Chain A
Amino acid sequence: MRLRASIAFAVAFAVALGSVSCADPTHDNAVDALGGEAPGVRPGPTHRPGQPCLTCHGGSGPGSPDFSVAGTVYSARRQGVAVSGAAIQIEDAVGTRATLFSNQVGNFYTTPDTFTPVYPFQVTVVLGNLKEQMQTHVGRSGSCADCHTDPPNQTSPGVVFISPPQ
């Protein structure tokens, strides 16, 4: 009887320890801070434009699939609208290139199976004859909205944008 109780206690302790060691409150808080889905928008390629995609799709869940690079492109630094059909050209530190295209809500993404950049990488956004090269390189974050948030402030240059001809 005493042995059975000891085993039960050991199992319960191990489970408790395991759940504690797997929890990442920082990640959980970051996910929670994104809030719920917009009304009428189902999870998928067009959800949550402008949010830091890799918070959920970066390997720690809860989103699936995982992305290696993802973001949203707008028509202006502030109060712009989504730009579809923009080409996001990426060149990484070893010269590997990838081109992503923005969808109808401006979202673009790629998965680690398709392209895993060697950091740092540089980015150019192309729309027709327009071309905008990012002023700095990307050092370690594949989630554009980790830095590109609205509005521009001390720690953000504003959203990723390219201004289509009027």
Chain B
Amino acid sequence: MTRLPFPMAFAALSALSALLSAACADVPADGRIGITAPNGSEAAFGPVAAYLGERCGTLDCHGQRARNLQIYSCEGLRLSQVDVPICSRNQGGKPTTPEEHQATYRSLVGLEPTVMSAVVVDHGEHPEWLTFVRKARGLESHKGGVLITPGDDQDVCITSWLAGQTNLTACAAAFGYPKFPAPPTTQ
């Protein structure tokens, strides 16, 4: 067995040690990947979340954990394990909470963070870059079908939020979707 001369062995060990310590030490314990996110405040996103809960968050759609996009609301998936998907307190439920709006926000923004970042940086000029917008508009296959049309109240509610100025009027009107045909009138 041949032995390395001491200086060479020492150098090799030092290099290995430096490599290992460099590999471990450069990652800060609180490291984050930053993105430019849309406004997540209750004032800006709350009305959007309320609409999404009503329109997309039923238990058989995005109101369940099996979905990539999870929407929390009193009409579907609840954040707290002790809450049930019932909005009325008279029936043993409780309305959607701001915490559930935040959970929906995190799910939505975390779905495609880099794309979301690009959309926000672009001041919402291209909301269709986001998969959830394309699916809702029917530009991409969506089990729930085509739900919104560019320019309608639902679309404006979402895209105005992405653009940084939530249109509260559109969101309030969007809350009434889906609309069902009026019953036939009897003469």
Residue of B with least CB distance to A94: B181
A156 adjacent to B144 (CB under 8 Å): no
A93 and B88 CA atoms in complex are apart in Å by: 25
Once A119-B144, A122-B180, A140-B144 are accepted as A-B contacts, the answer to whether A157 and B61 lie under 8 Å apart by CB is: no
In this assembly, does B186 line the interface, its C-beta being within 8 Å of a C-beta of chain A?
no
Contact A157 to B178, CB < 8 A, known contacts A119-B145, A135-B75, A138-B58: no
Q: Is A155 an interface residue (CB 8 A)?
A: yes
| Per-position 1/0 for B57-76, Cβ under 8 A of A | 01111011100000000011
Task: Count contacts on A: residues with CB < 8 A to the other chain.
Answer: 24
Please state if A154 and B181 are interface contacts (CB–CB under 8 Å): no
CB distance from A166 to the nearest CB of B (A): 19
A120 in contact (CB, < 8 A): yes
| A33 → B minimal CB distance (Å) | 15
A153 interface residue per 8 A CB criterion: yes
Q: Is the CB of A154 within 8 A of B77?
A: yes
- The residue in B54, B58, B76, B144 that gathers the most chain A C-beta atoms within 10 A of its C-beta is B58
Is residue A49 contacting chain B, with contact meaning CB distance below 8 A? no
- Contact between B58 and A139, CB atoms less than 8 A apart: yes
Partner of A155, one of B77, B178, B180: B77
> In the complex, which residues of chain A have a beta carbon less than 8 angstroms from the beta carbon of B80?
154
- What's the Cα separation between A158 and B92 when bound, in Å? 11
Q: How far does the alpha carbon of A147 sit from the alpha carbon of B60 in the complex, in Å?
A: 7
Is A141 interfacial (CB-CB < 8 Å)? yes
Are the CB atoms of A137 and B81 closer together than 8 Å?
A: no
A6 at the interface (CB under 8 A from B): no
Q: Which residues of B contact A139 (CB under 8 A)?
A: 56, 58, 60-61, 144
A91/B180 contact (C-beta < 8 A), A138-B58, A155-B77 known:
yes
* A157-B60 contact in complex given A94-B181, A140-B143, C-beta closer than 8 Å: no
A115 CB to nearest chain B CB (Å): 16
Which parts of A107-166 form the interface with B (CB within 8 Å)? Answer: 119-120, 122, 135-141, 146-147, 152-158
Residue of B nearest to A134 (CB): B58
Q: Is B35 an interface residue (CB 8 A)?
A: no
Q: How far is the CA of A93 from the CA of B180 in the complex (A)?
A: 6
Q: Is A152 touching B86 in the complex (CB atoms < 8 A)? A: yes
Q: What distance in Å separates the Cβ of A135 from its nearest Cβ neighbour in chain B?
A: 6
A147 to B59: give the CA distance in the assembly, Å: 6
What are 20 of the A-B contact pairs (CB < 8 Å)? A91-B181, A93-B178, A93-B180, A120-B58, A122-B180, A135-B75, A135-B88, A136-B75, A136-B76, A139-B61, A141-B60, A152-B86, A154-B77, A154-B84, A154-B85, A155-B63, A156-B84, A157-B86, A157-B93, A158-B84
| B residues neighboring A (CB under 8 Å) | 54, 56, 58-61, 63-65, 75-78, 80-88, 92-93, 143-145, 178, 180-181
Q: List 10 A-B pairs, minimum CB-CB distance, nearest first.
A: A95-B181, A141-B60, A139-B61, A147-B59, A152-B84, A139-B58, A136-B75, A136-B58, A154-B78, A157-B85
